Amino acid sequence: MKKRHILRKLFFLGIFLIMLGVGGSYLYVKMSPKLRINTANNLVLYDNKGEVFFQGSQSKEWVKLKDISDNVIKATINTEDKNFYKHKGFDFLRILKASFINLKNKSNVQGASTISQQYAKNLFLTFDKTWKRKWDEMLYTMRIEANYSKDEILEGYLNTINYGHGKYGIENAAKFYFNKSASQLDLAEATMLVGIPKAPSKFSPFIDFETAKERQLLILNLMVKNEVISEEERDKAYNEELTLVGKDNEEEVSSIMYYQDAVSKELESLQDIPASYNDNKGLKIYTNLDVRMQKKLEDTVKETIPQDVSIETSVVMMNPNTGGIVALMGGKDYDSSSYNRALSSKRQVGSTMKPYLYYAALENGFTSSSAFTSEATTFTFDNQDDYSPKNYNDKYGNKPISMGTAIAYSENIYAVKTHLFLGSDALINVARRVGITAKLEDIPSLPLGTNEINIIEMAAGYSAFANEGYKIKPHFIEKIEDGEGKVLYEAPNTKELVLNSSLTFILNNLLTATYDADYIDYNYPTAISLAAKLKHKYALKSGTTNSDNWNIGFNKDILCAVWAGYDDNKELTTSDYKYAQNIWYNSVEFYEEGKSDDETWYKKPQNVTGMFVEPISGRPATEADEKKKLMYFIKGTEPSSTDETFDEIASKEHAS
């Protein structure tokens, strides 16, 4: 009896506290200024010329509720919030029902957010699942309901939700998917579109048509259950053959959405900007995007990779002096896949790892002429393990070769010998200094790129070579202002000197060997097919594994990193290896059009001297040599005709 009395008291105390909380919340709402939903969370993105290229929650074509098909309105309400016109922002019976179902299933299988709640979340909040965010969502929902009519809320909701493929708002979605206005959508088209916002990357008919049809049928069945349409109307709509367009009426650069996604992710990480974008003034975000270059990049990818090939790509073009990313591809087609590989994927980098090794070698006394023997080699370690790396196509010179030749051919034997000679710490130390944070295993194959690294991280690492020794931070956003022009954030212009500029000059010139015909001998330079095409001078390195192909090249003006491969790590075919190189070549040449090497290549430091050598061996050139190559050395380290070639051919291969 006493226990029941205590429970009754606790029950009434709980009711009182809830009423007090609700009453206090409504009092707060009444005292709060009116929310400006037409500007809230209005993220306006500007390119590097100050032109708008994206406008956050504001659809480019806002349409009045009266100009939206009744089919869309009915389908939306019956799918998302059938009691929308009856509640005051919260459907408490639905909340209780969803809570019971979720508790029963021990998982969050059913939601209970109303349209008003969803609109509040879209406008003012991030999507983190914290109690603070849920409390803020409740307050914003109440404020919206207190200041706006149901029709105004529904109109705003339909004009701002994400219908996939970068299309915000029902009018943009209608034109993209069906090439018609929102007012013209029939029941079949409306229910297909209404199904998308729940998970655009899953329910878009362009991504998975069968799954989209299942979602459409679920919506049609809900409308039948709620007696909005008949079974005959449902069947007719479901069986209607949809004519999907997938294009905008005006020409747009759809790949800009990859860049916009990257900006959004960076925005969320900035501590100077509140986690919730609830500033009624909106945000102006100034980025490094070069729209002209982005358009060229998108066109190049489309022209290079056939539509019927499932291989994917990611591309990063960066100003190596500032870290500003000017163009980005997270895949070959945003409309087909919004997964941003440039941001989220890590892949084996292959021989693009070698420049970090060769910089370490130059730092530890090697020169452009330092030689190891190119021959099939088995390395035996103290633990009796053997390691037998192979060159591509099993081609070996069976003679001493210079560092320049090793770079030109991407020699694996030379790289492993250098790595073991220096010790693994040398390569890892350089990689860490330039900004590589990925896990790097202390194994003999490390310089062959068996570790997985993100493409933006690799581009940032190479930037230290491109800018003559400075570690930079890759970024998309340069500045953020509120709607009234107050500066909230500026990208820090911090550069840390981590490499020697004279050694980067030598390395950068060595990396031109990859397309230099002077290195044709027992093998061909890896990018020799570009020798006649390139109009400018670049440092370039490719990387190849069974499932990944890379090309990273730069001058002091621009850095471009390209990856190509399959999402499921399927092995590349012979023809697949051409895509990354062609994308890289066409992109950098477009960017540098009209510029001269005097503008974009490096000036020789005073402590560096040039000397003509026989390129394959690296020894000083003589009159008898058919090929003479100008190579660079720190003064005092030039090879002489009396020097013994640095060569371990007479010794047994043994590493401890």
> What is the spatial distance between Cα 156 and Cα 110, in angstroms, rounded to a whole number?
24
How far out from the chain centre does Cα 575 lie? 25
Distances (CA, A) of 144 to 59, 280, 282, 358: 19, 13, 17, 61
Catalytic residue check, 230: no
Helix, coil or strand: residue 73: helix
The bridge status of strand 283-287 relative to strand 43-46 is parallel
H-only helix segments in 226-290: 231-239, 256-269
**HSE, side-chain direction, 13 A CA sphere, residue 18:** 6
588: left (phi over 0), alpha (psi -120 to 50) or beta: alpha
What does 335-353 look like in DSSP terms, one character per residue?
TT----HHHH-EEE-GGGG
Distances (CA, A) of 28 to 16, 114, 136, 147, 275: 18, 21, 12, 13, 22
> What is the spatial distance between Cα 150 and Cα 116, in angstroms, rounded to a whole number?
9
Active-site pick, 59, 113, 351, 374: 351
**HSE, side-chain direction, 13 A CA sphere, residue 513:** 30
Cβ(564)–Cβ(545) under 8 Å?
no
How far out from the chain centre does Cα 551 lie? 17
Nearby residues of 298 by Cβ (< 8 Å), 6 or more positions away: 253, 254, 255, 329
The bridge status of strand 477-482 relative to strand 283-287 is antiparallel
> What is the spatial distance between Cα 189 and Cα 244, in angstroms, rounded to a whole number?
9
Cβ(614)–Cβ(621) under 8 Å?
yes
> What is the spatial distance between Cα 264 and Cα 55, in angstroms, rounded to a whole number?
12
> What is the spatial distance between Cα 143 and Cα 138, in angstroms, rounded to a whole number?
9
Structure tokens at 363: 């730092």
Smallest Cα–Cα separation from 408: which of 608, 573, 618, 556? 618
Taking only Cα atoms into account, the Rg of the chain, rounded to an integer number of angstroms, comes to: 31
> What is the spatial distance between Cα 631 and Cα 611, in angstroms, rounded to a whole number?
5
First to last CA, the chain: 81
Active-site pick, 57, 59, 69, 80: 80
Helix, coil or strand: residue 532: coil
What does 436-494 look like in DSSP terms, one character per residue?
--S----STTGGGT-SEEEHHHHHHHHHHHHTTSEE---BSEEEEEETT--EEEE----
Catalytic residue check, 617: no
Task: Cite the active site residues.
Answer: 80, 351
